[in-house]
Amino acid sequence: MTPNHWRLPQLSLRFVPVWQRNFLVWRKLALPSVLGNLADPVIYLFGLGFGIGMLVPEVGGVSYISFLAAGMVCYSTMNSATFEVLYSSFSRMHVQRTWDAILNAPVSLDDVVFAELMWAASKALLSGVAILLVISLFGLVDTRYVLWVPPLIFLVGLTFGALGLIVTALAPSYDFFMYYFTLFITPMMLVSGVFFPADQLPPIIRAATTLLPLSHAIELARPLLLGHMPEHTALHLLVLMGYCSVAFWLALALTRRRLLK
């Protein structure tokens, strides 16, 4: 009988040891990993924040560097989750064949893929919180609602982790990932409000940005970091959770089709 690759995920707590395995491997290189994830957004933050900030004193009533800080939290979270499920997960699945070894134990493929998603979100949480600490030390955060930001970071990590797993399931090699970055991640970063208000874009592009997950993440993160509650919170959360749920189901189905003959 042909297996039903498109059935709903069947998950169990057996994903936890797989998550733990990834954590133990990462722990050996934890410091370089964290510093690597910090470097890019911190360079953007202070390079553009102070540079463009000299030309643009305020954006939306706050300093440009404070405006940019929220974008960098989401940007760092997105990048960390994306790189993990693309390069690291692909290595474990296709190159190192780690997944094949794990599947010899009483662990299902559904649990393995879910463990990869949870691990990517966990790493994204570390990256996002690290940036959050940096911008807090420089006084760029209003602390009234800052405790709501780490759960949001984790949700953003889940969302982009799930989207990246779709690409991993389809990728024949590492080179394939450049299409994803060039055609999706980079354009989304430029139009979703990371570096400038998205409402300055032409109407047709502005309308398109409302469909992008990064836009919804920033619409939640920026107000929280500037000290006030976001508008349309439920809508933004539902969009992110919808992306995460549908993308994970699709990624799992494609992974089953690839690995379960």
What is the spatial distance between Cα 156 and Cα 158, in angstroms, rounded to a whole number? 5
Half-sphere exposure of 143 (CA within 13 A, CB side): 5
Mean pLDDT of all residues in 53-71: 83
Query: Is the C-alpha dihedral spanning 113, 257, 170, 185 positive or negative?
Result: negative
Note the pLDDT of residue 2: 58
The whole-number pLDDT of residue 198 equals 87
> Is 147 among the domain residues?
yes
Helices 213-226 and 64-83 pack at an angle, to 10 degrees, of 140
Contact indicator for 125, 157 with CB cutoff of 8 Å: yes
Residue 118 resides in a domain: yes
| Domain of 178, in residue numbers | 15-259
Number of separate helices (H) and strands (E) present in the chain: 12, 2
4 found inside a domain: no
46-55 confidence digits (pLDDT tens): 787 777 777 7
- Find the mean pLDDT for residues 11-25: 95
- Residue 9 located in a structural domain: no
Within a domain: 6: no
Residue 63, in any domain of the structure? yes
Q: What is the mean pLDDT of residues 122-140?
A: 91
The angle subtended at Cα 157 by Cα 79 and Cα 233, nearest 5°, is 115
pLDDT of 148 reads: 95
Confirm whether 3 is domain-assigned.
Answer: no
Strand residue runs (E) in 52-200:
58-59, 62-63
> For the CA atoms of the chain, what is the radius of gyration?
19
Read off the pLDDT of residues 198-245 as tens digits, 9 standing for 90 and up.
888 899 999 999 999 999 999 999 999 999 999 999 999 999 999 999
8 domain-assigned = no
Domain count within the chain: 1
